[in-house]
Structure 1
Amino acid sequence: MLLSNKAKGYILGAIAAATYGMNPLFALPLYADGMDADSVLFFRYMMAIPVMGLLLRMRGHSFSLASGRLAELAVLGVVVALSSLLLFLSYNYMDSGVASTLLFVYPVMVALIMAFRYGERLPPVTVVCIAVTLVGIMMLNRTAAGAGLSATGIWMVMLSSAA
């Protein structure tokens, strides 16, 4: 049975979200062994670069850039790096499970940016989903041990999700 491109997209999106949510599974043991967020991310991306290069080559894509694209890619690279760094730094200020859960507020941010910056209309179902998400976030105001969440950690995750 062949899957449609839409079905493949949903499956791959779910896999991507699940594996991205597993970041702490690999980062926290490295932190416990003395590595910091910068080092963890450095090695993470240094291992990913050859894999991405191999995938590009297997699909017949060139590594060359169109003229004038280097500056644009450099800016986007800095944004991605900041997003990852802020998330991994937030693990030092709050429970990694809470941080990773809060990270998934980015669809809300995208919807709000599209509405306020670009004038896109928010359908009622989207407004309800945003409200439910915000209520859920407010319910995460305490850790399992009863301690309050770190404001620094929350800001780091929110900036990470906005990047």
Structure 2
Amino acid sequence: MLRPPLRHYNTSVKAKPPFLFVCASLLLLLTGCDMLVSRALRHPFSWQAVQAVGGLALGQPQRDERGHVVLPLRCNVSGLEQVTVKPTTLNSALVCEPPLVRVRGSAIYLTVRATVATSRNKSCACTSADLGRLAAGEYSVIYRSPGGEVHPLGSIQAPPVAAPR
């Protein structure tokens, strides 16, 4: 069986992907597409990274007008604030995104996410996690790193659903 001849392409010129990525990101930022850049550069923090920027603390959960449980968080991805431990890393261009939340039975898994600062998102403080429509009761809160490692943060009491008026 005959095979078609191989085509030889000029492989002497190689594009540098990081350079092209940076140029494309700058072009998108300059053209007002900063939301696309922010989403493209979003990354979850490992537990070690959370500790390096000062730690993470849980607040008292509340129910919002939609019936969702909202858990206040204290974490500052800039590394300028001590929350639970002394920060050892500074991040001047990162801002906090809403955390990843997964609820499995009575366990709530949280992951802090950060991205580059844009005109739409300028806060390096993580404020709250929307836990959805949880049933009232006790839940354990666990930090989940991107690699799957877990670190227990404590437990919370989800407030009861308000009776309809």
TM-score normalised to structure 2 length: 0.22
Structure with the higher fraction of residues in strand conformation? 2
Greater relative CO, 1 or 2 (CA 8 Å, sep 6+): 1
Structure with the higher fraction of residues in helix conformation? 1
TM-score normalised to structure 1 length: 0.22
